[in-house]
Amino acid sequence: MPENLRLSVFQPDIAPNLGTMIRLCACLDVPIDVIEPCGFPFSVPALKRAAMDYADLADITRHASWEQYRHARKGRIVLLTTKAATPLWDFGFRPGDSIMVGRESAGVPGHVQRVAGASVLIPMPGGGRSLNVAVSAGMALGEAVRQLRRP
């Protein structure tokens, strides 16, 4: 596991995206926190199809609510958002950071954004509004793992 790095997913709307992030975390050996409620039943077949058998390999922690997550979480929350000023490439990750992605339909509410210790964005010089949340999580985790890798 790269220096206690985690991925936190706030109230995901789309099961295949969460399944992809579970698979990503299993492959990178990064624990994933799922902050409920989800916009789908957590055991929906689409989730299982996207995660494939990687769900059995992943370190998944489900939190019934934002408050439960906040009480359980230690370390800095690094929010991935299109509203941030700091580009992902210029940000310094630290051991114990948790990269948080929001809901596909709405991001995270203001009270969650205010708790984040940092906010970063993925620059999109091509002019797009946003990337798929699982793609964004993969890019951010890749950069964090690169920075925190052990020599």
Q: Is the pLDDT of residue 151 over 60?
A: no
Write the DSSP symbol of residue 63.
Answer: E
- Predicted pLDDT at 22: 95
Q: What is the mean pLDDT of residues 15-37?
A: 94
Write the DSSP symbol of residue 95.
Answer: T
Q: What is the pTM of this model?
A: 0.93
Q: Are 8 and 21 in contact (CB under 8 A)?
A: no
Residue type, 43: S
CA 47 to chain centre: 16
How many angstroms separate the CA atoms of 97 and 80, rounded? 12
**Residue range 14-24, pLDDT digits in tens:** 999 999 999 99
SS3 13: coil
Which among 53, 17, 44, 42 is positioned nearest to 138, based on CA atoms?
Answer: 17
**Residue range 46-98, pLDDT digits in tens:** 677 777 788 888 999 999 999 999 999 889 999 999 999 999 999 999 999 99
Pick the CATH number of 6-148 from 3.40.50.1260, 3.40.1160.10, 3.40.1280.10, 3.30.70.360: 3.40.1280.10
**Residue range 122-137, pLDDT digits in tens:** 999 998 888 999 999 9
